[in-house]
Homo-oligomer: A and B are copies of this chain.
Amino acid sequence: MYDFNFSVKTEILFGKDQLKYLPEKILENGSRVLICYGGGSIKKIGLYDKVISLLDENNIFYKELSAIKPNPRIDKVREGLEIIRENKLDFILAIGGGSVIDTAKLLACAVFTDKDPWKIIKKEVKIEKALKIGVILTIAATGSEMDSIGVVSNPQTKEKLSFSSPLLVPCFAIENPEFTYSVSPYQTASGVADIMGHTMENYFSLDDGCYLQNKIAEGILKTCIKFGPIALKEPTNYNARANILWASAWAINGLLNKGKNTSWTVHSMEHELSAYYDITHGVGLAILTPRFLKYILNEKTEKMLSDFAINVFDVEDTNNYRENAKKGIEALYKFFKDDLNLPMSLEELNITDEYFEEMAEKQAKRSNGYVGGVVPLEAKDVVQIYKASMKDEY
């Protein structure tokens, strides 16, 4: 186990009856609020009205930044910055999922520089200060509600990149599983794949001795496998929604990766796809992960993947690591396809092989020649994994 620091300062208010604490939690941290949200879904479920009433009743000043899209854009951040500055806002309330929260995170720190916010993502400007962020979570997926990371896209440069600072960890998150009842089966499935994707990025590593972390990761994966399909069939099943919602934070808040040597290879590959084709993040992860695992299956990794097969998918032990591993990867593929009903080929997302080399080169360049991973990958390996992801066949 490697040395690590762990600290998660987010206060979680979880359950049916927690929204009422919103004004008090805001007022602990600020008084002039930028409300960030996406499309109309928070209006449809009545959440928007409830929030506005609570703010009005408590005389809390607010402005709005709406229409934040999945794979959130840098333009939206620029727009939000103007609103914050014009109105001297001092707190950001993100109502939504990862895109809204990540937009809030970049806004929170970008307001303290007079440089363009994209420079923060390009590491040309350091994050030294940030407004406090609160979250009302409406989808189980990214875990951005309890971590320090954001991901924002720049369509002009075809880049989707992450940024991070402990200053960006939300100070509170209100999580009511009922707020996720109206999430569509497709988005629910994508969210579950996203949670599993984060968990697997943290889980797959060699020789770091982090048994505890891996056992917890297996528990999170099993939770997704059990409740993902239930949430699809019974969207208002409280316990299914609750278990998935709470799992989303723990997949990525540090518990699973601290002490380990992780590299987030599949995310690197997926971010390029999203940057070029604006696809749903969780779907990209679902398509790429089984192909990635199949590609890296070798003498070094077969024991690790055999453990995964047995402990996560209850594959019967054949006393042959390689065989177990293959069955586990296949079970993962089938789970995404048959149980979560996700598209399992890039073809279905209208992606061609046109930019595979370009995307792979970009990743290799960012990582000094090879894309990290349990098995180090070069650009040509990434291209192979993309190609293997084209057709829906295992």
Stretch of A13-21, A266-274, A320-328, A357-365 at the chain-chain interface: A13-21
Residues on B with C-beta less than 8 A from A4 are: 12, 14-15
Asked whether A48 is an interface residue with its Cβ less than 8 Å from the other chain, the reply is no
Asked whether A243 is an interface residue with its Cβ less than 8 Å from the other chain, the reply is yes
Q: Which residue on chain B has the smallest CB distance to residue A11?
A: B7
Are A12 and B3 in touch, CB under 8 angstroms? no
Are B14 and A6 in touch, CB under 8 angstroms? yes
Tell me whether A258 and B14 are in contact in the complex, defined as CB-CB below 8 angstroms, given that A1-B238, A1-B243 are known contacts: yes
Bound Cα distance from A211 to B1, whole angstroms: 27
Bound Cα distance from A219 to B213, whole angstroms: 8
Residues on B with C-beta less than 8 A from A13 are: 5
Among B1, B6, B219, the residue within 8 A (CB) of A219 is: B219
Tell me whether A220 and B226 are in contact in the complex, defined as CB-CB below 8 angstroms, given that A14-B6, A15-B4 are known contacts: no
The oligomer's copy count stands at 2
Are A17 and B1 in touch, CB under 8 angstroms? no
Residues on B with C-beta less than 8 A from A11 are: 5-7
Asked whether A259 is an interface residue with its Cβ less than 8 Å from the other chain, the reply is yes
Asked whether A215 is an interface residue with its Cβ less than 8 Å from the other chain, the reply is yes
- Taking CB atoms and an 8 Å cut-off, the chain A residues in 21-63 that contact chain B are none
Q: Which residue on chain B has the smallest CB distance to residue A8?
A: B8
Bound Cα distance from A370 to B170, whole angstroms: 42
Bound Cα distance from A168 to B298, whole angstroms: 49
Bound Cα distance from A16 to B12, whole angstroms: 31
Asked whether A179 is an interface residue with its Cβ less than 8 Å from the other chain, the reply is no
Tell me whether A14 and B243 are in contact in the complex, defined as CB-CB below 8 angstroms, given that A1-B238, A212-B223, A219-B212 are known contacts: no
Asked whether A216 is an interface residue with its Cβ less than 8 Å from the other chain, the reply is yes
The residue among A15, A18, A211, A243 with the most chain B CB atoms within 10 A of its own CB is A211
Bound Cα distance from A39 to B18, whole angstroms: 46
Among B3, B17, B222, the residue within 8 A (CB) of A17 is: B3
Q: Which residue on chain B has the smallest CB distance to residue A208?
A: B239
In the assembled complex, how far is the CB of residue A89 from the closest CB belonging to chain B, in whole angstroms? 25
A-B contact pairs, 22 of them (CB 8 A): A1-B15, A1-B177, A1-B242, A2-B15, A3-B14, A3-B15, A5-B11, A5-B13, A5-B14, A7-B9, A7-B11, A9-B9, A14-B258, A15-B259, A211-B227, A211-B239, A212-B223, A212-B243, A212-B246, A216-B219, A216-B250, A246-B259
Q: Which 9 residue pairs of A and B lie closest in terms of their CB atoms, listed nearest first?
A: A3-B15, A215-B219, A209-B239, A6-B12, A1-B242, A7-B11, A212-B223, A216-B219, A212-B243
